[in-house]
């Protein structure tokens, strides 16, 4: 019998997602429950947005306390919450200034505007000629400008024409970056690890060499850390694995503590100073509720040592996954708790694996048909990882048996 809740959503909601057939009604820590009372381990964390776990008591209190005082008033006025929040995020990331927004895509758009205006007003690029270099396989959001420089055909199909001024190169290829830079290049926008492409790690030292190339050519290095930032990879920022200090950073997802959409564009003063009153804004960006939530999320991350926990549990998780025995597995890779289980496409697809994992109490989602994303809350324990690995082995065995019977 088809769940009537699923039927209703499918009838009234746009079909821009293809969810697994489960209706979630409750979450606590690494667990979520469906409408039938069944418990699952959440291995998605809402694409890293729920890094602190579901319904963290301190986050629930922070949002409740602030909602009862003042939630939204716009940046037309000062509030007592925004300054402390931005001070904390700048202090932790080493940036000079921050511009608060709501979603990751909005923060990326902010970065694009900042890079172009810096190129014109500071670097001296001729008006209308600024270029920003991006990478094939990138995912920076869903706006028209952003999908315009995506290399994924589906993200672009039917949405053109797209803005000019973007140059794509292969990810992980530093000679290609050096070759693509011209006097009109304002910035290089890059993910330290490509998430939606399938948890793709670049060669060792890649980002460090990119930073050197950008510095020598007076080009801004902008790191999109919306998914990789705030402890996901075992460092506060994924760029820190290469000892890199970018000119600008984009944060989102986990910055909202799994409660609200909170994002920020952070940059050196030389970059942020290009913005003048009226240049850019957001009605909800930096609202008191979001600021209170963002500050508490950062405090929890540091005080509960979740960055260090991500590094420790990530190493353990990857080690246990590599003990799995199945012909369906093509590769296991990752950093911290940002892990890919790549499926052999000649035998099965990742959606099938996710569906079988669901039957064993594990929830995740496929990426590009070939990769199962494993990015649980940073609070996950060794015992929960063991339970997860055991469930994955059972799911792979069940699927392999099913495929053998249908062959």
Our count of domains for the chain comes to 2
Total residue count of the chain as it appears in this document: 407
Same structural domain for residues 115 and 238? yes
Greatest C-alpha distance within the chain: 66
Segments forming the whole domain that contains residue 388: 4-56+306-406
Same structural domain for residues 282 and 329? no
Which of 277, 303, 329 marks a domain boundary? Answer: 303
Tokens of 24: 């979630």
Which of 303, 329, 356 marks a domain boundary? Answer: 303
pLDDT score at 407: 76
Mean pLDDT over the full length of the chain: 97
C-alpha angle 263/70/288, rounded to 5°?
A: 20
Cα Rg of the chain, angstroms? 21
CATH code for the domain in which residue 334 is found: 3.90.1150.10
Same structural domain for residues 203 and 313? no
d(CA 383, CA 372): 21
Residue with tokens 């030389």: 270
Same structural domain for residues 65 and 162? yes
Phi, psi (5° rounding) for residue 125? -70, 140
Does residue 224 carry a catalytic annotation? yes
Same structural domain for residues 277 and 356? no
Q: Which of 224, 265, 284, 338 is catalytic?
A: 224
Q: Which of 85, 139, 149, 284 is catalytic?
A: 139
pLDDT in tens, 108-141: 999 999 999 999 999 999 999 999 999 999 999 9
pLDDT score at 185: 98
Same structural domain for residues 298 and 349? no
Same structural domain for residues 401 and 347? yes
The residue among 389, 105, 71, 379 whose CA lies nearest residue 232 is 379
Q: Is 54 helix (H, G, I), strand (E, B) or coil?
A: strand
- 338 bridge partner residues: 335
Same structural domain for residues 253 and 154? yes
- List of residues 6+ apart from 107 with CB closer than 8 A: 101, 226, 250, 251, 252, 263, 264, 265
Q: What percent of the chain has pLDDT over 70?
A: 100
pLDDT in tens, 183-235: 999 999 999 999 999 999 999 999 999 999 999 999 999 999 999 999 999 99
CATH code for the domain in which residue 267 is found: 3.40.640.10
Does residue 61 carry a catalytic annotation? no
Same structural domain for residues 77 and 191? yes
Same structural domain for residues 76 and 42? no
Which of 303, 332, 349 marks a domain boundary? Answer: 303
Q: Interhelix angle for 57-67 vs 288-303, to 10°?
A: 160
Same structural domain for residues 174 and 75? yes
Same structural domain for residues 360 and 218? no
Q: Which of 34, 149, 253, 265 is catalytic?
A: 253
Does residue 317 carry a catalytic annotation? no
């Amino acid at each position: 019998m088809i769940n009537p809740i699923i039927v209703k959503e499918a009838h009234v909601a746009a079909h821009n997602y293809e969810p697994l057939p489960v209706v979630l009604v409750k979450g606590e820590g690494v667990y979520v429950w469906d409408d039938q009372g069944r418990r699952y381990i959440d291995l998605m964390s809402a694409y890293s947005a729920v890094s602190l776990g579901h319904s963290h008591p301190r986050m629930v209190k922070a949002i409740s306390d602030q909602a009862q005082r003042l939630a939204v008033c716009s940046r037309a006025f000062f509030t007592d919450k925004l300054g402390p929040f931005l001070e904390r995020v700048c202090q932790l990331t080493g940036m000079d200034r921050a511009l608060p927004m709501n979603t990751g895509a909005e923060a990326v758009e902010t970065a694009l505007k900042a890079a172009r205006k810096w190129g014109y007003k500071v670097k001296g690029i001729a008006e209308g000629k600024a270029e920003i270099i991006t990478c094939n396989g990138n995912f920076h959001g869903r706006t028209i400008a952003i999908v315009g420089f995506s290399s994924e055909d589906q993200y672009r199909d039917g949405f053109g024409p797209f803005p000019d001024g973007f140059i794509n190169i292969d990810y992980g290829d530093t000679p290609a970056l050096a070759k693509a830079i011209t006097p009109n290049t304002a910035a290089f926008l890059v993910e330290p690890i490509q998430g939606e492409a399938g948890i793709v790690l670049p060669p060792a030292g890649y980002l460090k060499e990119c930073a050197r190339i950008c510095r020598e050519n007076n080009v801004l290095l902008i790191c999109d850390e919306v998914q990789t930032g705030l402890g996901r990879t075992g460092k506060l920022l994924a760029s820190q694995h290469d000892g890199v200090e970018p000119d600008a950073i984009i944060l989102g997802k986990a910055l909202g503590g799994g409660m609200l959409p909170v994002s920020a564009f952070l940059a050196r003063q030389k970059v942020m100073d290009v913005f003048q009153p009226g240049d850019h804004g957001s009605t909800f960006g930096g609202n008191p509720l979001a600021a209170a939530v963002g500050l508490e999320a950062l405090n929890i991350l540091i005080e509960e040592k979740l960055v260090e926990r991500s590094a420790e549990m990530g190493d353990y998780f990857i080690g246990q996954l590599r003990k799995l025995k199945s012909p369906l597995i093509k590769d296991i890779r990752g950093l911290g708790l940002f892990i890919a289980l790549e499926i052999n496409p000649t035998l099965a697809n990742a959606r099938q694996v996710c569906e079988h994992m669901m039957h064993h109490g594990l929830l995740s989602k496929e990426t590009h048909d070939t990769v199962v994303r494993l990015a649980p809350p940073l609070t996950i324990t060794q015992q929960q990882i063991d339970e997860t690995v055991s469930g994955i082995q059972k799911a792979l065995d069940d699927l392999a048996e099913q495929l053998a019977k249908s062959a």
